[in-house]
Structure 1
């Protein structure tokens, strides 16, 4: 398969190495050149060293998609991959989410898993749709949490390696001509807010209609938070935080 990888950091770099080790083509890599604290991003650095085409995070769209892509694979990506972009591929887009979806949708799933006292955590590889973290499941696995776990500790010990195994399993299925697509049970879905992070960037978000009387419309919830109490209620697009 010819894959476009969207991601960042160590997990994104590990998935890139996994793709190459399996013999998949990599059409391009979409990621930030730097981390939030100004250090070179590991995925960007690896892709640049390998001479792979690079797109900056936030610029991947239907207009910038290279041709001949079979699959978009998201590995620690916080970009929203819209329908028009997914439609440029042969198979669609899938990503890894560090929770047992439909539980703990949102950007800080590991934090909320521990904050809510879950004894069992997990990860899900799922097909991207217009519902953030809401698409059908392609592969899923679980692990125990431990007393004293931190989000970073649980991620490194369990959820990072679990993600690599689940992505490999999903790729195995696709290589065998099998598309696994198990709908999420929406009745069990939970969504928790981001903790100190910007909302998912959605370049392909369709225009939002006029707001109901007494409301205004925003695509940037983070920018609205400070003025929310002073400015009145806000209408958010479906699927946003």
Structure 2
């Protein structure tokens, strides 16, 4: 399984490690910032790093040749339809909510803000609309009383993301396809950045 990984920061690095532990070949890492820790990790492992020309968009020419799957991990850039078409299986990302609930950049913060007793994570197919592609894997967890967004992310949602991404990668390696079920739009909510 040849993967182009698009991402940043700690979650990008842990995803890098998870993918490699599950036998995926990361052929290129795409980052918005050349100094990001994911870029440094990839360079240290001898893997090609490409810096996005536009930090808000991943272009087709930024995807490595013969990529089977694009995986995003803490990337806020939209992956263009051309880039998705350049990968045999398209692309997947992890979103820290039970999609279609809390689509957007501040999903964990909205989970806390809304007082949701249950949270979760979703590995979903990248699509034209942000966080709206078919669901490949999903799992829930309880939210502890008084827990902050950061605490919820670190305790449950980040590890859940690694687990779900690994499951989907393992499935794709065996079946050469991705599981997919559409999101139910009647339950969609948005999670834009919260202002203090």
- State the TM-score bracket (shorter-chain normalisation): over 0.9
In the alignment, is the contact (CA less than 8 A) between 1:114 and 1:150 conserved in 2? Answer: yes
Q: Which has the higher helix share?
A: 2
Structure of higher CA gyration radius: 1
Partner of 1:13: 13
Provide the rounded CA distance (Å) in 1 between the counterparts of 2:174 and 2:126: 21
SS of aligned partner of 1:183? coil
Question: Where does the alignment leave 5 or more consecutive residues of structure 1 unmatched?
Answer: 35-39, 197-241
Aligned residues: CA RMSD = 1.4
Q: What is the Cα deviation at residue 120 of structure 1?
A: 0.1
Specify the SS of the correspondent of 2:172.
helix
Q: Which runs of 4+ in 1 moved over 3 A?
A: none
Q: Out of 86-95 and 40-49, give the one that drifted further.
A: 40-49
User: How far 1:42 moved relative to its partner?
Assistant: 2.2
Residue 194 of structure 1 and its aligned partner are, at CA, apart by 1.7
Report if aligned partners of 1:33, 1:45 keep a CA contact under 8 Å in 2: no
Gaps of 5+ in 2: none
SS at match of 2:102: coil
Q: 2:41 aligns with which of 43, 46, 55?
A: 46
Native 8 Å contact 1:32 1:44 kept in 2: no
Partner of 1:181: 180
Q: 1:127 aligns with which of 125, 128, 153?
A: 125
Corresponding residue pairs, total: 191
SS of match in other structure, 2:193: coil
Q: Do 2:22 and 2:170's aligned partners in 1 also have CA atoms closer than 8 Å?
A: no
- Post-superposition Cα deviations, 1:105-138, rounded to whole Å, max 9, x if no partner, equal 0000000000000000000000011011000000
Q: Which residue of 2 aligns with 1:114?
A: 112
CA distance in 1, matches of 2:71, 2:7: 8
Equivalents in 2 of 1:4, 1:67: separation in Å?
9
Q: In structure 2, what is the Cα distance between the partners aligned to 1:23 and 1:179?
A: 17
